[in-house]
Amino acid sequence: MNFHNNNSGNTNYFLNGSDEISKTLREIDWSQHVLGIPESWSISLRNAVAMVQSSKFPMILWWGSELIQFHNDASVPLLSGIGKMQAVGKPADDNWSGTWHLTGPVIQKVMQSVEAVNFQDQPVSFTEAENEKEAQQFFCFSYSPLFGDTGEVAGVLGICADISAAKQSEQQIRSLVASAPFPIGVYQGREMHIAMANQAIIDVWGKGNDIVGKTYFDVLPELENQDIYPKLLEVYSEGRPFSARNQRVDLLVQGNLQPFYFNYSFTPLFNQEGQVYGVLNTAADVTDLNLAKVKVEQTRQEFKNLILQAPVCMCLLLGPSHTVEVANECMINLWGKEERDVMNMPIFEALPDAKEQGLEALLDHVYKTGETFTANEMPVHLIRFGNPDIVYQNFIYEPYRDASGEILGVIAISNDVTKQVLAMRRIEEIVQQRTQQLESANESLSRSNSQLAEFAYIASHDLQEPLRKISIFSQMLESKVGGSLDAKSQGQLQKIKESSERMQALVKDVLAYSQLNNTGGEIVSADLNQIVEGILSDMELLIEQKDAVIAVGRLPTVPGQPLQLTQLLSNLIGNSLKFHRPGSVPQISVEAFEVPDQEKTALSLEAAVDFVKIVVSDKGIGFKEEQADKIFELFQRLHSKTEFEGTGIGLSICMKIVENHHGLISARGSSENGARFNIYLPLKRPQ
């Protein structure tokens, strides 16, 4: 049956409300319900339902073994959002079939343990009625046992508190704290438990990321004797904020106590009752700024000390009036003044005698434009120690700037070169005299060199002619009477021939060596591949006779005189063919290599020039290592004339040719491994 208001008694007072849930309860046919008609309900149930219906907080009541559900209008938005609006008067397991496996055990536990259960900050997902969008709110839930008329646990009362707004506000605060670019921390209670700490403050402290929940004192024990703890506790106790600027704070970082500088504040946090429940700590790390200020001051002082200790005359002039900020003893002595007469004064007031010599305009230009000015041997007229004087100076004016680049003044660096200038003028006079004498001597030397070259040519030709005749007459004599001569006479005739031939070769080499002094031949790009190819063609018959093996690598093109380079390589290849081991096949190689910087340094070759190393090596008889330098001397022979023919000039010619080409030649050898000649030639024509 439907329940209607009954004004005859007060039994059903809990159903007389005008709220929607009361209306729903009155429409239920309780005669068919497990609880029976309301008149038969226990007083405890009626009071519980009345309390739920009259409350402005969301409340849900589960009663009896079937856990029949009652709730009030305040809980309608929550129940509607989770699809449980029709749950009133119905058993819980019917209404909450989808989620009862989560809620049911909690209700059963409360009824069995007779102890209340609380849940804080619980997220609840629901569908908003106005737009059917999924949303989430946060609640605090409390489940308490309700007792029947006889004292037994008869039901459970669930009270909900919507804390979504507070949670959202808290989340906004946490987001603000977390995203702040400067250090922020929130500490709660007198123990200063760290409730919030953003990454900036975590990084500054250097204590790791797991500091939330710990106390400020435990995380930062090194602050105990730094007057920070008392300030923090004073803010908490008295509720007055505190701030400090450029405060030094020593923090323990990786086991070492390191100084930092902060602008920081402690701000009290009040609850709704006006009581302090925590402290907000904000800070700005100004360590770099303070250290920079200290560094600037140190740098400024160091710069002043540098000026005072400089081995040259030096001063600093500040501002547009060029006031003397600092000047060392050398500069003050150069000015010819006492220190007290120039310090902290505009320079042209301290040195009025230096005016109108162009120095004012120079200093003004450097100060205004920042362009450095340099002068050498500039005369400056000064009154030095009471006497007029001319001082010749090499000086530099350059701008003095602060860290931002702004020009603050001018640095003047000067060197008194008066003695040098006067000495140089005297030297120039002497040099002029000596130059005239030298020109005369050079003309005489040039004539002597010309005459010497002419003499060498004539002498060589005059020697060659008689030697040629001796050779011809020896051959004629041998052809006419050679067969009738006895053995001794034939031997003597042969010695005449050999001596004349050696003498001809010697004269030829001497003439060639003397002509090498003339380095005025045309310098062209000489292809060493073509030069070696021509040499091997000229020596083809000799190579075949000796059955020689010659290996030639890829050779470069170098700047040089082809005839001299041909003579150089021809001499070296010819020597390798000549000085081979008896009974063995001559093995000769000609190769080219790049010259690394390290090797150029070791050989004192010009570092900025690229060189190539030409190596001519053989497996011949070689020579002793200690003879490596002697073999390039004129007429130096390592073997007797009977063993190997030669004049002893060939390698001297090689060295002269290499020197003419701005190169270097060296030799290495041993009786086991033969000889090796290293020729270093520049790849570009020297300037």
Q: Confirm if 557 and 586 have CB atoms less than 8 A apart.
A: no
Place of tokens 């749950």: 87
The total of other beta-carbon atoms located within 10 Å of residue 145's CB is: 19
Question: Does any domain span residue 462?
Answer: no
Sign of CA dihedral 216, 219, 220, 224: positive
Report d(CA 383, CA 354) in Å as an integer. Answer: 9
Question: Does any domain span residue 330?
Answer: no
Classify burial at 429, counting beta carbons within 10 Å of its beta carbon; exposed 0-12, middle 13-18, buried 19 or more: exposed
Per-residue pLDDT at 506: 56
Classify burial at 440, counting beta carbons within 10 Å of its beta carbon; exposed 0-12, middle 13-18, buried 19 or more: exposed
Per-residue pLDDT at 6: 41
Question: Does any domain span residue 619?
Answer: yes
Share of residues in the chain with pLDDT > 90 (%): 27
Q: Please write the tens of the pLDDT for every residue from 615-628.
A: 999 988 877 777 66
Sign of CA dihedral 477, 483, 485, 491: positive
Q: Confirm if 167 and 151 have CB atoms less than 8 A apart.
A: no
Sign of CA dihedral 566, 567, 572, 577: positive
Q: Final residue of a domain: which of 285, 314, 343? A: 285
Q: Final residue of a domain: which of 263, 285, 307? A: 285
Place of tokens 């704290």: 177
DSSP secondary structure of 77-106: HHHHHTT-GGGTTSBHHHHTTTTHHHHHHH
Q: Confirm if 605 and 680 have CB atoms less than 8 A apart.
A: yes
Mean pLDDT of 490-512: 63
Q: Which of 111-120, 340-349, 678-687 has the highest mean pLDDT?
A: 340-349
Q: Which helix (H) or strand (E) is 324 found in, with range?
A: strand 323-327
Between 483 and 376, where is the model more confident? Answer: 376
Mean pLDDT of 150-155: 90
Per-residue pLDDT at 7: 41
DSSP structure class, residue 75: G
Per-residue pLDDT at 8: 42
Is the domain of 86 the same as that of 219?
A: no
Report d(CA 407, CA 401) in Å as an integer. Answer: 4
Question: Does any domain span residue 104?
Answer: yes
Structure tokens given for 401? 């700037």
Is the domain of 580 the same as that of 652?
A: yes
Q: What is the CATH number of the domain that holds 133?
A: 3.30.450.20
Q: Which of 445-459, 479-493, 648-662 has the highest mean pLDDT?
A: 648-662
| Secondary structure of residue 630 in the 3-state scheme | helix
Per-residue pLDDT at 425: 84
Sign of CA dihedral 625, 628, 630, 636: positive
- The domain total for the chain is 3
Per-residue pLDDT at 616: 93
Per-residue pLDDT at 437: 82
Classify burial at 371, counting beta carbons within 10 Å of its beta carbon; exposed 0-12, middle 13-18, buried 19 or more: exposed
Structure tokens given for 670? 């041993």
Is the domain of 142 the same as that of 278?
A: no
Query: Is the pLDDT reported for residue 647 higher than 70?
Result: no
Q: Final residue of a domain: which of 143, 166, 189? A: 166
Maximum distance among all alpha carbons in the chain?
A: 185
Is the domain of 151 the same as that of 200?
A: no
Distance of CA 265 to CAs 177, 241, 283, 647, Å?
15, 7, 6, 100
- Can you list the alpha helix ranges (DSSP code H) found in 547-622? 562-578, 597-602
Place of tokens 């003499």: 455
Mean pLDDT of 153-164: 84
Per-residue pLDDT at 528: 94
When mean pLDDT is compared across 336-345, 553-562, 651-660, the lowest value belongs to: 651-660
In terms of Cα–Cα distance, which of 434, 369, 432 is closest to 397?
Answer: 369
Q: Please write the tens of the pLDDT for every residue from 587-634.
A: 999 999 999 999 989 988 888 899 999 999 998 887 777 766 777 775
Report d(CA 61, CA 52) in Å as an integer. Answer: 7
Dihedrals phi, psi of 254, to nearest 5 degrees:
50, 40
Report d(CA 72, CA 275) in Å as an integer. Answer: 34
Is the domain of 531 the same as that of 677?
A: yes
Per-residue pLDDT at 365: 94
Is the domain of 197 the same as that of 95?
A: no
Question: Does any domain span residue 43?
Answer: yes
Is the domain of 143 the same as that of 41?
A: yes
Is the domain of 188 the same as that of 143?
A: no
Q: Confirm if 311 and 211 have CB atoms less than 8 A apart.
A: no
DSSP secondary structure of 655-677: HHHHHHTT-EEEEEEETTTEEEE
Is the domain of 162 the same as that of 184?
A: no
Mean pLDDT of 633-638: 58
The structure's pTM equals: 0.36
159 residue type, one letter: I
Query: Is the pLDDT reported for residue 100 higher than 80?
Result: no
Per-residue pLDDT at 679: 93
Between 429 and 241, where is the model more confident? Answer: 241
Question: Does any domain span residue 340?
Answer: no
For residue 259, the enclosing domain spans 180-285
Dihedrals phi, psi of 144, to nearest 5 degrees:
-120, 145
Is the domain of 256 the same as that of 152?
A: no
Is the domain of 123 the same as that of 272?
A: no
Question: Does any domain span residue 539?
Answer: yes
Residue 22: pLDDT band (50, 70, 90) is: confident
Is the domain of 524 the same as that of 655?
A: yes
Q: Which helix (H) or strand (E) is 26 found in, with range?
A: helix 20-27
Give helix then strand counts, H and E, for the chain.
20, 22
Residue 272 neighbours by CB under 8 Å, 6+ apart = none
Q: What is the dihedral of CA 344, 349, 355, 358, to 10 degrees?
A: 30
Per-residue pLDDT at 640: 45
- Can you list the alpha helix ranges (DSSP code H) found in 370-417? none
Question: Does any domain span residue 293?
Answer: no
Q: Please write the tens of the pLDDT for every residue from 276-297.
A: 989 999 888 888 888 878 787 7
